[in-house]
């Protein structure tokens, strides 16, 4: 279904929306709201639109949302279609029985290029950089948003797309700060391709709760990642730590890729998550993306799910009859959805070996792409 431009959301008055955060989800909700005729200001705390991380796997349901809001072809043009395979630490390649290629396929997209493209589509005149939101006050007729420099801006609606450390969430739902996913560390990088086999995406589920792999991506680049559950606190250099974990994966190509990566090109993260929230909205404020449901990335889908939040929220705002009704319906749709995501994601996390991991992973992706998809909304 396509959404027509210039819809007048509130009869005589154009709805004004402030979006906190210019990450993947904030930029997407900004451009989608503009497509239905809202006035949008995306406020990003950084001096530029930049993406943390190398690349992101976007599943079919996110790509459908991008297509609906007019950026599908551009995103396809910078992506690499990936068919994921699982490996065990003995090098056996397999997929979960009973699932097909569609449940293992996604588009791998370089994050910096994606965010630049989304920012262009949202329109630079609708993005305010160096603008950190520090709080808000809700009134019957408006929400007043406070900035770190003392400015205050009014809007009809504030959308918190400000990531796992969300200021908007901390004010809307106090007592739910981001938590460490204890012992879960990730090392990753994107470097020029250097002779690794070009076999789609390799994900090895190795010994000692280590997972990792690599994929070729856009522009002759290759992206690699090493994931470790139940890790002690890393003390070595990023490269030393990544290599130490990669040894559990028995993949010479991955080891060579890490060895060829300059230390400064390696990103290391302690993984954080957002505990399930009792509410996502108030009368004039809504959470979206990682601000509402930051997940451990072992299901590689947090961004995709956040893009689906955009579709649900924007369709409800378009349907009306007013913001409050739309926000209540959005929350009523999303909270049970994420209860299911959490349940399926925990199965993946606690799988005992590579084959069980593959089975639970495919169970999740199959659900997300079918009965859990926002295109059913
Ligand atoms: C290692 C790893 C691998 C992953 N792989 C995948 C994958 O393959 N596929 C997938 O779908 N997902 C993946 N994810 C998840 C995905 O990266 C996230 O779900 C997604 O980036 C969340 O986007 P967001 O816009 O909600 O938040 P963010 O990307 O965190 O953006 C938030 C933005 O808000 C800004 N901001 C924060 N506070 C304020 C404030 N107070 N005022 C103004 N601006 C503010 C920040 O500067 C930032 O730009 C992965 C995550 C990790 C960690």
User: Is the model's pLDDT at 309 over the cut of 50?
Assistant: yes
302 lines ligand 1 (CB under 6 A): yes
Please check whether residues 228 and 129 belong to one and the same domain. no
Please check whether residues 233 and 284 belong to one and the same domain. no
227 lines ligand 1 (CB under 6 A): no
The 3-class secondary structure across the chain, one letter per residue, is: CCCCCCCCCECCECCEEEEECCCHHHHHHHHHHHHCCCEEEEECCCCCCCCCCCEEEECHHHHHHHHHCCCHHHHHHCCEEEEEEEEECCCCEECCCCCCHHHHEEEEEEHHHHHHHHHHHHCHHHEECCCCEEEEEECCCCEEEEECCCCEEEECEEEECCCCCCHHHHHHCCCCCCEEEEEEEEEEEEEECCCCCCCCEEEEECCCCEEEEEEEEHHHEEEEEEEECCCCCCCCCHHHHHHHHHCCCCCHHHHHHHHCCCHHHCEEEEEEECCCCCCCECCCEEECCHHHHCCCHHHCCHHHHHHHHHHHHHHHHHHCCCHHHHHHHHHHHHHHHHHHHHHHHHHHHCCCCHHHHHHHHHHHHHHHHCCCCHHHC
* Residue 342, domain member (yes or no): yes
* Residue 215, domain member (yes or no): yes
Expressed as residue numbers, the domain containing 304 is 16-53+110-178+274-376
Ligand 1 pocket, mutate which of 41, 184, 238, 290 (most atoms under 8 A from CB): 290
Please check whether residues 260 and 235 belong to one and the same domain. yes
Please check whether residues 33 and 161 belong to one and the same domain. yes
Please check whether residues 29 and 162 belong to one and the same domain. yes
Task: Check residue 12 and give its pLDDT.
Answer: 56
Q: What's the CATH code of the domain at 242?
A: 3.30.9.30
- Mean pLDDT (the chain, rounded): 91
Task: Check residue 62 and give its pLDDT.
Answer: 97
Closest CA to 304 of 75, 51, 58, 54: 58
Q: Say how many Å lie between the CA of residue 302 and the centre of ligand 1.
A: 8
304 lines ligand 1 (CB under 6 A): yes
Nearest CA to ligand 1 atom 20: 303
* Confidence at 89, pLDDT banded by 50, 70, 90: confident
* Residue 174, domain member (yes or no): yes
Boundary of a domain, candidates 272, 289, 324 = 272
Please check whether residues 252 and 326 belong to one and the same domain. no
Boundary of a domain, candidates 272, 307, 334 = 272
User: pLDDT tens-digit profile of 278-299?
Assistant: 999 999 999 999 999 998 878 8
User: Is the model's pLDDT at 136 over the cut of 70?
Assistant: yes
User: Is the model's pLDDT at 4 over the cut of 60?
Assistant: no
User: Is the model's pLDDT at 11 over the cut of 60?
Assistant: no
Please check whether residues 122 and 253 belong to one and the same domain. no
Q: Say how many Å lie between the CA of residue 19 and the centre of ligand 1.
A: 14
* Residue 96, domain member (yes or no): no
Task: Check residue 199 and give its pLDDT.
Answer: 64
167 lines ligand 1 (CB under 6 A): yes
Task: Check residue 93 and give its pLDDT.
Answer: 83
Ligand 1 pocket, mutate which of 56, 187, 341 (most atoms under 8 A from CB): 56
Ligand 1, atom nearest to 294 Cα: 19
Task: Check residue 242 and give its pLDDT.
Answer: 96
Please check whether residues 292 and 152 belong to one and the same domain. yes
Mean pLDDT of 58-78: 96
How many domains are there within the chain? 2
Ligand 1 pocket, mutate which of 18, 20, 23 (most atoms under 8 A from CB): 23
User: pLDDT tens-digit profile of 315-369?
Assistant: 999 998 999 999 999 999 999 999 999 999 999 988 888 899 899 999 999 999 9
User: pLDDT tens-digit profile of 232-243?
Assistant: 889 999 999 999
Q: What's the CATH code of the domain at 289?
A: 3.50.50.60
* Residue 95, domain member (yes or no): no
Task: Check residue 215 and give its pLDDT.
Answer: 86
Please check whether residues 148 and 201 belong to one and the same domain. no
* Global confidence as pTM: 0.92
Question: Residues of the chain with pLDDT > 70: what percent?
Answer: 96
Please check whether residues 116 and 27 belong to one and the same domain. yes
User: Is the model's pLDDT at 254 over the cut of 60?
Assistant: yes
Ligand 1, atom nearest to 302 Cα: 19
Please check whether residues 207 and 258 belong to one and the same domain. yes
Please check whether residues 208 and 266 belong to one and the same domain. yes
* Residue 205, domain member (yes or no): yes
């Amino acid at each position: 279904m396509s959404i027509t431009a210039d819809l007048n959301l509130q009869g005589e008055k154009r709805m004004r929306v402030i979006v906190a955060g210019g990450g993947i989800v904030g930029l997407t909700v900004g451009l989608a709201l503009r497509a239905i005729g809202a006035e949008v200001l995306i406020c990003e705390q950084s001096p530029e639109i930049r993406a943390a991380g190398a690349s992101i796997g976007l599943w079919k349901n996110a790509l459908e949302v991008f297509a609906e809001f007019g950026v599908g072809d551009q995103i396809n043009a910078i992506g690499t279609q990936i068919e994921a395979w699982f490996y065990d630490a003995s090098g056996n390649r397999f997929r979960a029985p009973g699932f097909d290629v569609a449940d293992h396929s996604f588009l791998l997209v370089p994050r910096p290029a994606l965010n630049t493209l989304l920012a262009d589509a949202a329109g630079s005149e609708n993005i305010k950089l160096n603008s950190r939101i520090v709080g808000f006050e809700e009134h019957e007729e408006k929400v007043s948003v406070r900035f770190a420099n003392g400015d205050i801006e009014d809007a009809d609606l504030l959308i918190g797309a400000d990531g796992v450390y969300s200021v908007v969430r901390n004010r809307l739902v106090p007592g739910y700060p981001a938590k460490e996913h204890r012992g879960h560390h990730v090392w990753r990088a994107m470097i020029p391709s250097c002779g690794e086999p070009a076999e789609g995406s390799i994900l090895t589920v190795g010994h000692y709760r280590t997972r990792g792999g690599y994929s070729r991506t856009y522009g002759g680049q290759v992206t690699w990642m090493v994931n470790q559950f139940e890790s002690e606190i890393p003390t070595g250099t990023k490269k030393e730590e990544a290599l130490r974990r990669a040894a559990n994966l028995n993949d010479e190509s991955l080891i060579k890729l890490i060895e060829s990566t300059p230390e400064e090109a390696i990103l290391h993260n302690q993984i954080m998550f957002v505990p399930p929230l009792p509410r996502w909205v108030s009368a004039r404020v809504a959470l979206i993306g990682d601000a509402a449901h930051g997940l451990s990335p072992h299901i590689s889908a947090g961004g995709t799910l956040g893009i689906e939040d955009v579709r649900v929220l924007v369709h409800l705002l378009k349907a009306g009859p007013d913001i409050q009704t739309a926000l209540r319906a959005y929350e009523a749709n999303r909270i049970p959805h994420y209860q299911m995501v959490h349940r399926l994601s925990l199965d993946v996390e606690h799988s005992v070996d590579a084959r069980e991991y593959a089975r639970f992973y495919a169970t999740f992706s199959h659900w997300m792409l079918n009965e859990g998809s926002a295109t059913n909304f």
